[in-house]
Chain A
Amino acid sequence: MRDATATARDNDLVRLSLTDPECFAALFDRHAPHLHAYVARRLGPDVADDVVSDTFLDAFRRRHVYDPAHTDARPWLYGIASNLVGKHRRRESARYRAYARTGPDETLAALVEEGVTTLAVNRPLLRALAALKPGDRDVLLLVAWAQFTYEEVAVALSIPVGTVRSRLNRARTKVKTALEAADA
């Protein structure tokens, strides 16, 4: 069975897992490494462990409603993961702010803007990410970090492609504006 699952498409694995749960293990092996990295970038590695296990548990429970037309299960899995990440929204924003934090310390903030210090080139970017609406941030990061197409993001988040475009455009504009303000 393992040899067969190694080459099977995701939708076939999900279908087979309805009668042979062992097949679902192949989905974990196939997608968990990148999904874990994606979630770890958003929430940190410790929380990523929980989110990944919860994602696959949730997916396993809902496998009977999986749309067999989708040969790639990544949008489905990342959509579930995005919902779970959303439950840690405060933590995610706090994580970005923790890295971005110059706190109330204008000394560091201004040095950052002068481009002479630190991890700091990214700090305005982090502040901008923390300030995005959660839905906009989901779209932006699925594109930037998971390399999803607009269509894949639409499937993952159960929204129209047009909404993906508008959210992405809004998120990119806000990030660009924040970076330009920091450079000014």
Chain B
Amino acid sequence: MPDVDLATLFERPPATEADLAGARARFLHRAARSRPRRDRNLLKALLAALATTLVAVTAAVALRPLPATQPPPKPPEPSEARQALLTAADAAAAQTSAFEPGKPGEYLWVVWFHQGWDPRKGEVTTFLVENWSPSDGKGPWLRSTGRHETLFARLCPSQDPSAWSPDLRAEITAGDVPGRFGQIAAMLEWTRFHPERAAALLRLAAELPGLTVTRGQTDAKGRPAFTVGLALDGLRDELVFDEPGNTPLGRRTVVTRDTPQGEGRIPAGTVIGHTVDLYGVEPKLPRKPAKSASLDGEPPLRADQVKRVEREARCD
């Protein structure tokens, strides 16, 4: 139902008087400065009319009764996010010697504990995702959710250590801050065995403006954690770090206001994302099927029920 999905995409109510106060103010300011002198008398009347409305709007906003609940806590300073990311980068860099990235022909195995939104059930569902990627970047890689297995023909360049550029900045192609943050977060997921790259990515993330830290969190597995994230239009994309170890655990998205989804809504407060559970080096790809188990309350499938498909990777 593409028309339904499109009609509700980013759906939002008409702007309120308070929402428009900023646009009005800019309009007034720029209109007053942009007109030739001969027209300014005409404009004065318009600006006076709009200013009157603006004052009324401002007064209405100011006079609205405050909610009885406590005011929201003051957001932390962005510099805290920068410091947290630099600390995490140092922690990652210090781990370099502790990792063995595997020999050519071996596979890097990472298990993610994933929380996703199931639109059919209208609830968060939890399951494991296992990735087997070639340590030298050569050949296919496998992903399993316990019910579906996909054998990809190749890694995308940002996942392939042999294709990584010495100039990390050149790999960040997104233009704006949300795009760069999202790209860094995605690339970070493929650095479990490459902490030096994780450190470099975290240092790049530390340069982004507008990031904030949320302390006292837990990751999807309930481990103590903090997050560094960026709010955008009812969603907050976050990197999740071990507390107090500062190592990257995963990423998640917090829904900060009810979000239309098809014909339903994802309620504010919903958290989706994934956190690393296990990892290691495997000598070869598993035989069909992989041994992952579903965590969504349904029993694991028999071997002959797991479907393995092959397809090309799609690299954006």
CB of B217 within 8 A of chain A? no
Closest to A130 in B: B316
Which residue of B15, B120, B272 is within 8 Å of A40 (Cβ)? B15
CB of A90 within 8 A of chain B? yes
- Asked, given contacts A44-B232, A115-B120, whether A144 binds B7 with beta carbons under 8 Å apart, the answer is yes
CB of B279 within 8 A of chain A? no
Contact B156 A106 (CB under 8 A): yes
Contact A25 B46 (CB under 8 A): yes
Contact B145 A114 (CB under 8 A): yes
| Docked complex Cα distance between A53 and B23 (Å) | 5
Contact A21 B45 (CB under 8 A): yes
Which residue of B24, B27, B157 is within 8 Å of A104 (Cβ)? B157
Contact A106 B176 (CB under 8 A): no
Contact A101 B6 (CB under 8 A): no
Contact B143 A91 (CB under 8 A): no
| Docked complex Cα distance between A52 and B157 (Å) | 40
Q: Main SS of chain A's interface residues? A: helix
Q: Main SS of chain B's interface residues? A: mixed
Contact A25 B232 (CB under 8 A): no
| Docked complex Cα distance between A41 and B6 (Å) | 11
Contact A60 B116 (CB under 8 A): no
Closest to B259 in A: A119
Interface window among B82-90, B177-185, B218-226, B280-288: B177-185
Contact B114 A40 (CB under 8 A): no
CB of B315 within 8 A of chain A? yes
- Asked, given contacts A32-B23, A33-B14, A41-B9, whether A115 binds B159 with beta carbons under 8 Å apart, the answer is no
Contact A105 B23 (CB under 8 A): no
Residues on A with C-beta less than 8 A from B30 are: 53-54, 57
Interface residues of B toward A: which range? 35 or more
B111-130 CB contact bits vs A (8 Å, 1 = yes)? 01010111110000101010
Contact B156 A104 (CB under 8 A): yes
Residues on A with C-beta less than 8 A from B50 are: 25, 28
Closest to A176 in B: B2
CB of A78 within 8 A of chain B? no
- Asked, given contacts A32-B20, A53-B26, A119-B235, whether A21 binds B120 with beta carbons under 8 Å apart, the answer is no
- Asked, given contacts A94-B174, A119-B253, whether A36 binds B23 with beta carbons under 8 Å apart, the answer is yes
Contact B116 A117 (CB under 8 A): yes
CB of A166 within 8 A of chain B? no
Residues on B with C-beta less than 8 A from A108 are: 186
- Asked, given contacts A119-B235, A119-B266, whether A125 binds B314 with beta carbons under 8 Å apart, the answer is no
- Asked, given contacts A32-B23, A119-B261, whether A94 binds B2 with beta carbons under 8 Å apart, the answer is no
Size of A's binding interface in residues, CB under 8 A: 65
A18-32 CB contact bits vs B (8 Å, 1 = yes)? 001110110011001
Contact A179 B186 (CB under 8 A): no
CB of A159 within 8 A of chain B? no
Residues on B with C-beta less than 8 A from A54 are: 30
Which residue of B2, B19, B148, B158 is within 8 Å of A45 (Cβ)? B19
Contact B175 A90 (CB under 8 A): yes
Contact A120 B27 (CB under 8 A): no
Which residue of A33, A57, A102 is within 8 Å of B15 (Cβ)? A33
Contact B185 A103 (CB under 8 A): yes
Chain A interface residues toward B at CB < 8 A: 17, 20-22, 24-25, 28-29, 32-34, 36-37, 40-41, 44-45, 48-50, 52-54, 56-57, 60-61, 90-91, 94-95, 97-99, 101-111, 114-122, 125-127, 129, 140, 144-145, 172, 175-176, 179
Leading 5 A-B pairs by shortest Cβ distance: A103-B186, A117-B116, A21-B46, A36-B15, A33-B14
Give me 18 A-to-B residue pairs in the complex whose CB atoms sit less than 8 angstroms apart, sorted by A's number.
A22-B49, A24-B46, A33-B15, A34-B14, A44-B233, A49-B26, A52-B20, A61-B34, A94-B174, A101-B182, A101-B183, A105-B186, A105-B190, A106-B152, A111-B116, A120-B116, A122-B261, A129-B9
In the complex, besides A48-B15, A101-B182, 17 extra interface pairs with C-beta distance below 8 angstroms are A28-B50, A32-B20, A33-B20, A37-B13, A52-B20, A53-B22, A61-B35, A94-B176, A104-B159, A110-B143, A110-B148, A117-B114, A118-B116, A119-B259, A122-B261, A125-B9, A179-B2
